[in-house]
Structure 1
Amino acid sequence: MRRSGAAKIAISVAAGMMLVSCGEPADAPRAVRPASVEPPLPSPTLAETTPSPAPVLPPTPEGEIDKLATTKGWDVDALYPSASAFVRDMCASLPVSAIDGASRPQWLADYLKGDGQAVLEAGIPKLCPAWTKTLEEAVSGDYEVWFSNGDYEVNSEPKPGEESIKPGTYRIKGDLKNCYWERLTRSGEIIDNNFAPAAREITVTIRASDGLFRSEGCGGAWKPVR
Structure 2
Amino acid sequence: MSGAPTVVNETPTVEPTAEETETELPFSTEDPYATEEPVYAFGPEGEIDKLADEKGWEYDGTYSTASAFVKDICESLPISSIQADSRPEWLVESGNLEGDKKAILQAGIPKLCPKWATALKQAVSGDYDQWYSSGTYVVSSKPAAEGQDETIPPGTYRAEGKMENCYWERTSEAGEIIDNNFATSARKITVTIRSSDGQFTSEGCEVWKPVK
| 1:69 equivalent among 41, 45, 52 | 52
Matching residue of 1:222: 208
Distance (Å, rounded) in 2 between the aligned partners of 1:189 and 1:79: 50
Matching residue of 1:22: none
Contact 2:135–2:203 (Cα < 8 Å) also in 1: yes
| Larger helix share, 1 or 2 | 1
The amino acid of 1:143's aligned partner reads Y
Structure 1 runs not aligned, ≥5 long: 1-55
**Greater C-alpha Rg:** 1
SS in structure 2 at match of 1:202:
strand
Distance (Å, rounded) in 2 between the aligned partners of 1:152 and 1:57: 49
Distance (Å, rounded) in 1 between the aligned partners of 2:190 and 2:154: 13
State the Cα distance separating 1:135 from its structure 2 match. Answer: 1.4
The amino acid of 1:184's aligned partner reads T
Matching residue of 2:88: 105
State the Cα distance separating 1:125 from its structure 2 match. Answer: 1.5
Identity %: 61
SS in structure 1 at match of 2:168:
strand
SS in structure 1 at match of 2:136:
strand
State the Cα distance separating 1:164 from its structure 2 match. Answer: 1.9
TM-score, normalised by the number of residues in structure 2: 0.68
Contact 2:40–2:47 (Cα < 8 Å) also in 1: no
Distance (Å, rounded) in 1 between the aligned partners of 2:202 and 2:127: 24
SS in structure 2 at match of 1:146:
coil
Residue pairs, 1:52-131, within 5 angstroms: 59-110=42-93, 111-131=96-116
Can you list the C-alpha shifts for 1:126-168, whole angstroms capped at 9, x where unaligned?
2222322221122122223221112222221326988321100
Matching residue of 1:142: 127
State the Cα distance separating 1:170 from its structure 2 match. Answer: 0.7
Which ranges of 4 or more aligned residues in structure 1 deviate by more than 4 Å?
56-59, 159-162
Matching residue of 1:191: 178
Distance (Å, rounded) in 1 between the aligned partners of 2:71 and 2:189: 37
State the Cα distance separating 1:214 from its structure 2 match. Answer: 1.5
Can you list the C-alpha shifts for 1:159-196, whole angstroms capped at 9, x where unaligned?
69883211001111121101111223334333322221
- The alpha-carbon distance between structure 1 residues 210 and 188, as it changes in their structure 2 partners (threshold 3 A), is same
State the Cα distance separating 1:59 from its structure 2 match. Answer: 4.7
Matching residue of 1:30: none
Contact 1:100–1:221 (Cα < 8 Å) also in 2: no
- The alpha-carbon distance between structure 1 residues 116 and 57, as it changes in their structure 2 partners (threshold 3 A), is closer
User: Alpha carbon RMSD of aligned pairs, Å?
Assistant: 2.6
**How many residues in Structure 1 have an aligned counterpart in Structure 2?**
170
| 1:181 equivalent among 159, 168, 177 | 168
Structure 2 runs not aligned, ≥5 long: 1-38
Distance (Å, rounded) in 1 between the aligned partners of 2:89 and 2:203: 21
- The alpha-carbon distance between structure 1 residues 185 and 91, as it changes in their structure 2 partners (threshold 3 A), is same
Distance (Å, rounded) in 2 between the aligned partners of 1:58 and 1:174: 43
